[in-house]
Amino acid sequence: MARTLAPHPDRLFPADPGVRELARRIYQEIREAPIISPHGHVDVATLADDEPFTDPATLFITPDHYVTRLLHAGGVPLDKLGVGRAALSEEDSRGVWRILCERWALFRGTPVRYWLESELAEIFGVTEQPDAANADAIYDTIAGCLRRPEFRPRALFRRFGIDVLATTDDPCDDLAAHRRLAGDPSWQGRVVPTFRPDRYLEPGRAGWRAAVDRLGEVTGIDTGDYAGYVRALEERRRYFHEHGAVSADHSHPDVRTDPLDPAQAARVYAAARAGTATEAEATAFRRHMLLEMARMSTEDGLVMTLHPGIRRGHHTPTSAAYGPDTGHDIPLRMEFTDALRPLLERFGTHPNLTLVLFTVDETTYSREIAPLAGFYPAVFIGAPWWFLDAPDAIRRFRGAVTETAGYGKLAGFVDDTRAFCSIPARHDMARRLDARVLAELVAEHRLDEDEAIETARDLVGAQPMRVFRL
């Protein structure tokens, strides 16, 4: 007998009946609000092309490192999950799907289970928890849906109630798919690109030289010297801004922002192009350029978001076999107070800078991020990120930052996902937890109920719109 799959209307609410009732009332006020998704990794082509999703494994498993890493940790090799392959045959897709269903217990207690449950039940009408016996039947249910027009990407986008969706894009991308989508008269949605220049700013990374050469080609600006390189970056930011981008996103191992003087910067840039820069010089240049990015943000108004502190590709053999983003990016200890000081000394009170800080090191919430956001008008606190985008972690986050920085310095929820169908489930989880945390404040007489409702509404609407300049 399969277990019933029926997401409970009160899920994630506190057990106490009085507080639960409060949480319900607050949630009621925000559950249907449109989704603002100002940072994520959905491919714009999905919406521009509006092709049907191919198969259940590709939709739910293979490209989503949240899912594949837990199966891998449970003993399933990545090749058995189709990772790194271009497309799956129906047989392969069924096989991958069956693995997920058989190992469903591995996901207990994780947000992945929560999101998948919501998606299966609420989007595809599945009514049983996946298991070995019903794997094929559920596969068929989903595959059947995917053939119908109302399960095409654009139809789902509308059904999900998405008001704004940001993608993440390479600075040299011509944004043709964005243009195509925006220019389609049958399309009403708002999908904006995001400028993500990491690999252009790290001379220590393989492929940097080729990247800055390409930057020169794309802009027609000679990137052979530092001045041209900076101008070319400014030009691409301008191009992105022109195409609707509202933010630039940065993900380096640390957030130091120590400046180089222009002559130093030019010298290191030349050395890096010649392949003679030391690792220390490459690092110094990367930090200097993060500061430059802030300077550019004050000029072009792109919101600056930081997603730092990850050791990418921790297991080299897996990277070699399957490429990046395959589940073994592991967090590092972070430091913001001294690292961001040069940037904040210069631009922390600049009226045109908005700096949103994300972290996977929870220790910085109360110690550094909330105190910085609690003074600098430019600094806002990003939603709990990656390993921390789960119910208990989100509640720890709230407890750790709001007492120091208040609710007004939160940037609102960010789903940050490449799993398109998980978007509504992720936002719904965040809204339920908003309602819960605020209900607890009301129950403890720390906030009035009408204020709690006002705050909840701001967090899903006005606040991210304002912070991300939407």
Q: Do residues 383 and 413 touch, judged by C-beta distance below 8 A?
A: yes
Determine if 317 is a binding residue for its own copies (CB under 8 A): yes
Least distance to its own copies, CB of residue 252, Å: 16
387 interacts with its own copies by CB under 8 A:
yes
Q: Any contact of residue 109 with its own copies (CB under 8 A)?
A: yes
Residue 180 or residue 312: which is nearer to its own copies going by CB?
Answer: 312
Query: In the set 366, 457, 465, 466, which binds its own copies (CB under 8 A)?
Result: 366
Q: Which is nearer to its own copies, 57 or 443 (CB)?
A: 443
Mark the segment that binds its own copies (CB under 8 A) among 12-20, 131-139, 156-164, 262-270.
Answer: 12-20
Which range, of 49-57, 145-153, 291-299, 441-449, touches its own copies by CB under 8 A?
441-449
Amino acid identity of residue 268, one-letter, is V
Minimal distance, residue 443 CB to its own copies, in Å: 4
Residue 440 binds its own copies (CB under 8 A): yes
Q: How far is the CB of 148 from its own copies (least distance, A)?
A: 30
- Cα dihedral 267, 269, 275, 281 sign: positive
Q: Is 279 in the site for its own copies (CB under 8 A)?
A: no
Under the binding rule (CB under 8 A), the answer on residue 304 touching its own copies is no
DSSP string, 84-122: T-S---HHHHHHHHHHHHHTGGGGTTSHHHHHHHHIIII
Q: Which residues of 194-203 are buried (b: 16+ CB within 10 A; e: fewer)?
A: bbbbbbbbbb
Please identify, among the stretches 158-166, 219-227, 415-423, 448-456, the one whose residues bind its own copies according to the rule CB under 8 A.
448-456
How crowded is residue 76: how many other Cβ atoms within 10 Å of its Cβ?
A: 18
Quick check: 382 binds its own copies (CB under 8 A)? Answer: no
Binding pattern for the stretch 25-54 against its own copies, x by CB under 8 A and - elsewhere: ------------------------------
Q: Is 311 in the site for its own copies (CB under 8 A)?
A: yes
Sign of the Cα torsion 457, 390, 418, 3 reads negative
Give the burial class of 334: count Cβ atoms within 10 A of its Cβ; 0-12 exposed, 13-18 middle, 19 or more buried: buried
In the complex, least distance from residue 27 CB atom to its own copies, rounded to whole angstroms: 13
Interface with its own copies includes 105 (CB under 8 A)?
Answer: yes
State the nearest-atom distance from the C-beta of 53 to its own copies, in Å.
26
Q: Among 12, 123, 268, 339, which residue sits at the site for its own copies (rule: CB under 8 A)?
A: 12
Residue that has been written with the tokens 């940050």 in this structure: 416
Q: Which residues contact 250 (CB under 8 A, 6 or more apart)?
A: 196, 197, 198, 201, 290, 293, 304, 305, 306, 307, 308
Among 140, 174, 222, 392, binds its own copies (CB under 8 A): 392
Residue 447 is a binding residue for its own copies (CB under 8 A) = yes
DSSP for 156-199, written as a single string? HHHHHTEEEEE--B-TT---HHHHHHHH-TT---EEE--B--HH
Taking CB under 8 A as the criterion, which residues in 55-74 touch its own copies?
A: 69-70, 72-74
State the alpha helices, DSSP H only, in 374-418: 391-405
* Buried b or exposed e, range 166-183, using 16+ CB within 10 angstroms: bbbbbbbbebebbeebbe
Asked if residues 250 and 308 have their Cβ atoms less than 8 Å apart, the reply is yes
CB closer to its own copies, 348 vs 464: 348
How many CB atoms lie under 10 A from the CB of residue 317? 8
CB of residue 193 to its own copies, shortest distance in Å: 28
For residue 192, the number of C-alpha atoms closer than 13 Å in the C-beta half-sphere is: 25
Q: Which two tokens stand for residue 82?
A: 């189709």
**Residue 280 touches its own copies, criterion: CB under 8 A:** no
What the block records as the tokens of 386 is 């990656």
Site string for its own copies, 399-438 (x = CB under 8 A): xx-xxxxxxxx-----------------------------
Closer to its own copies by Cβ: residue 105 or 137: 105
Does 318 bind its own copies (CB under 8 A)? Our answer is: yes
State the minimum distance, in angstroms, from the CB of residue 111 to its own copies. 6
Site map 110..139 versus its own copies, x via CB under 8 A: xx--x--------------x----------
Is 345 one of the binding residues for its own copies (CB under 8 A)? yes
Report the b/e string of 298-314 with b at 16+ CB within 10 A: bebebbbbbbbbbeebe
How many binding residues for its own copies (CB under 8 A)?
92
- CA-based diameter of the chain, in Å? 72
